[in-house]
């Protein structure tokens, strides 16, 4: 039977000091309910933007203690299912997002979600592309706001974190203290308005702990593609870090010389932007999975519960 975690258990920062609200075994499936990134405070597009409680932004549901996860291990988070509420919300305005210096007022839009489509306007119905914005583990010490991405995961706003993907995160503290939230019904690379279609929902995940490996984190793998993700103050640095992480992975896991790995990335990988609007910017490198498998890398066979 799948365990369920209610969305009333929220944190606003990833921290080693938090008490876990649930303990799960490796391979156990768990359904996690999530609020949207405004903690469901916006239900109407005429609402007063100035009266939102900005202390309640980017809640993540958790933290979850994963049995047998010890500092230095890696945590594989397999995303089995993402279910969305029937409407989402978008906001932008002065000082928000890429157009923040040109926008004159705050705008809120409620976006209905019907039969796998987001009803953006009367004439534009776009396919959903459900993804997880905030997903991570606790850092070794201190706390990192849920709105900030980093090596621990967090607010990466990466549109490849979807159903069917496996995210690899570091275990920095005993039990990992995992949390997630901030689902998007749709988002493009960049997240230029400062939001996707922000939506409440449910995510079913399964955890696996891996011992004795030191892959670069965060890493993401799906049926076709392996990805390294990195976040830095400047997008240029995030792009460099994501690329270097993948190059180091090829050196260590595929036994390639550095120049050889660099050549390969230059011809076969795509360097892409995740988001440019959070406190750190996030980039990723996407490489076809068959290439690393041909070079000897084996992603573990994951047991289903
Ligand atoms: Ca986000
Ligand atoms: Zn979001």
In a domain, 303, yes or no: no
**Burial category of 101 from C-beta neighbours within 10 Å (exposed 0-12, middle 13-18, buried 19 and up):** exposed
Percent of the chain with pLDDT over 70: 100
Would you place residue 140 in the very low, low, confident or very high pLDDT band (cuts 50, 70, 90)?
A: very high
Between 39-53, 58-72, 286-300, the lowest mean confidence (pLDDT) is in 39-53
Q: Give distance in angstroms: CA of 215 to centre of ligand 2.
A: 27
Mean pLDDT of 43-54: 87
Ligand nearest to the CA of 158: 1
Mean pLDDT of 145-160: 98
Sheet containing 29-34: order of strands: 3-5, 29-34, 201-210, 74-84, 166-170, 219-221, 225-232, 281-288, 270-275
Domain boundary among 210, 233, 250: 210
Ligand nearest to the CA of 199: 2
Q: Give distance in angstroms: CA of 265 to centre of ligand 1.
A: 28
Q: Give distance in angstroms: CA of 302 to centre of ligand 2.
A: 29
The CATH number covering residue 148 comes to: 2.60.120.580
Q: Give distance in angstroms: CA of 97 to centre of ligand 2.
A: 12
Mean pLDDT of 94-115: 96
Dist. CA 202–CA 262, nearest whole Å: 39
The pTM of the whole model exceeds 0.75: yes
Which residues fall within 8 angstroms of residue 135, CB to CB, at 6 or more apart?
60, 77, 153, 154, 156, 161, 167, 169, 179, 180, 181
Which residues fall within 8 angstroms of residue 51, CB to CB, at 6 or more apart?
none
Q: Give distance in angstroms: CA of 66 to centre of ligand 1.
A: 24
The CATH number covering residue 254 comes to: 3.10.28.20
Q: Give distance in angstroms: CA of 81 to centre of ligand 1.
A: 19
Same structural domain for residues 272 and 168? no
In a domain, 139, yes or no: yes
Q: Give distance in angstroms: CA of 197 to centre of ligand 2.
A: 7
- 5 token code pair: 């975690």
Task: For the chain, state the CA radius of gyration.
Answer: 19
- 77 token code pair: 């988070």
- Which residues span the domain enclosing 236? 219-294
Measured between its terminal Cα atoms, the distance across the chain in Å is 9
In a domain, 134, yes or no: yes
Mean pLDDT of 137-164: 98
Dist. CA 201–CA 205, nearest whole Å: 13
Q: Is the model's pLDDT at 4 over the cut of 80?
A: yes
In a domain, 247, yes or no: yes
Would you place residue 301 in the very low, low, confident or very high pLDDT band (cuts 50, 70, 90)?
A: confident
Q: Give distance in angstroms: CA of 204 to centre of ligand 1.
A: 19
What's the pLDDT at 5?
Answer: 98
Mean pLDDT of 171-177: 98
Same structural domain for residues 177 and 43? yes
CB within 5 A of ion ligand 1: which residues?
A: 133, 155, 157, 182
Same structural domain for residues 157 and 96? yes
Same structural domain for residues 106 and 22? yes
Domain boundary among 171, 191, 210: 210
Q: Give distance in angstroms: CA of 189 to centre of ligand 1.
A: 12
Q: Is the model's pLDDT at 1 over the cut of 80?
A: no
Between 43-52, 188-197, 235-244, 290-299, the lowest mean confidence (pLDDT) is in 43-52
Q: Is the model's pLDDT at 240 over the cut of 90?
A: yes
Q: Is the model's pLDDT at 304 over the cut of 80?
A: no
Ligand nearest to the CA of 186: 2
> Can you name the residues that pair with 82 across neighbouring β-strands?
203
Q: Is the model's pLDDT at 165 over the cut of 70?
A: yes
Would you place residue 50 in the very low, low, confident or very high pLDDT band (cuts 50, 70, 90)?
A: confident
Ligand nearest to the CA of 278: 1
Would you place residue 303 in the very low, low, confident or very high pLDDT band (cuts 50, 70, 90)?
A: confident
- If one counts the domains in the chain, the total is 2
Q: Give distance in angstroms: CA of 191 to centre of ligand 2.
A: 9
Same structural domain for residues 122 and 231? no
Higher pLDDT, 239 or 45: 239
What's the pLDDT at 263?
Answer: 98
Same structural domain for residues 129 and 236? no
Mean pLDDT of 113-131: 97
**Burial category of 17 from C-beta neighbours within 10 Å (exposed 0-12, middle 13-18, buried 19 and up):** exposed
Dist. CA 272–CA 155, nearest whole Å: 16
Same structural domain for residues 16 and 54? yes
For CA atoms 104, 105, 108, 109, the dihedral sign is negative
Ligand nearest to the CA of 275: 1
Same structural domain for residues 167 and 265? no
Same structural domain for residues 166 and 235? no
Nearest to 183 by CA among 120, 114, 133: 133
Same structural domain for residues 67 and 115? yes
What's the pLDDT at 125?
Answer: 98
Q: pLDDT for 180-205, tens place per residue?
A: 999 999 999 999 999 999 999 999 99
Q: Is the model's pLDDT at 20 over the cut of 70?
A: yes
Mean pLDDT of 209-231: 97
Q: pLDDT for 272-293, tens place per residue?
A: 999 999 999 999 999 999 999 9
Q: Give distance in angstroms: CA of 235 to centre of ligand 2.
A: 19
Q: Give distance in angstroms: CA of 258 to centre of ligand 1.
A: 34
Same structural domain for residues 290 and 191? no
Q: Is the model's pLDDT at 253 over the cut of 70?
A: yes
Dist. CA 200–CA 39, nearest whole Å: 8
What's the pLDDT at 305?
Answer: 59
Domain boundary among 180, 210, 240: 210
């Amino acid at each position: 039977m799948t365990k369920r975690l209610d969305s009333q258990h929220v944190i606003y920062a990833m921290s080693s000091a938090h008490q876990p609200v649930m303990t799960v075994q490796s391979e156990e499936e768990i359904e996690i309910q999530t609020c949207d990134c405004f903690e469901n405070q916006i239900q109407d597009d005429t609402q007063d933007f100035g009266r939102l409680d900005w202390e309640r932004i980017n809640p993540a549901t958790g933290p979850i203690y994963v049995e047998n996860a010890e500092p230095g291990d890696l945590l594989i988070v397999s995303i089995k299912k993402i279910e969305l509420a029937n409407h989402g919300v978008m906001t932008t305005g002065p000082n928000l997002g890429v157009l923040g210096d040109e926008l004159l007022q705050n705008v809120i839009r409620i976006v209905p979600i019907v039969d796998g489509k987001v009803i953006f306007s009367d004439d534009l119905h776009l396919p959903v592309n459900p993804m997880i914005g905030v997903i991570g583990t606790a850092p070794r010490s201190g706390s990192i706001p849920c709105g900030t991405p980093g090596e621990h995961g967090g607010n990466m706003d990466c549109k490849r974190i979807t159903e069917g993907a496996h995210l690899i995160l570091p275990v920095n503290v005993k039990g990992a203290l995992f949390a997630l939230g901030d689902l998007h019904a749709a988002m493009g690379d960049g997240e230029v308005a400062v939001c996707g279609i922000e939506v409440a929902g449910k995510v079913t995940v399964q955890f696996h702990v891996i011992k004795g490996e030191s892959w670069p984190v965060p890493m993401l793998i799906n049926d076709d593609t392996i990805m390294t993700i990195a976040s830095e103050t400047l997008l240029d640095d995030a792009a460099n870090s994501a690329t270097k992480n993948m190059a180091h992975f090829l050196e260590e896991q595929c036994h390639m010389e550095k120049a050889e790995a660099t050549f390969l990335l230059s011809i076969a990988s795509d360097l892409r932007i995740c988001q440019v609007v959070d406190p750190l910017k996030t980039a990723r490198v996407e490489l076809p999975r068959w290439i690393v498998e041909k070079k000897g890398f084996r992603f573990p066979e994951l047991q289903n519960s």
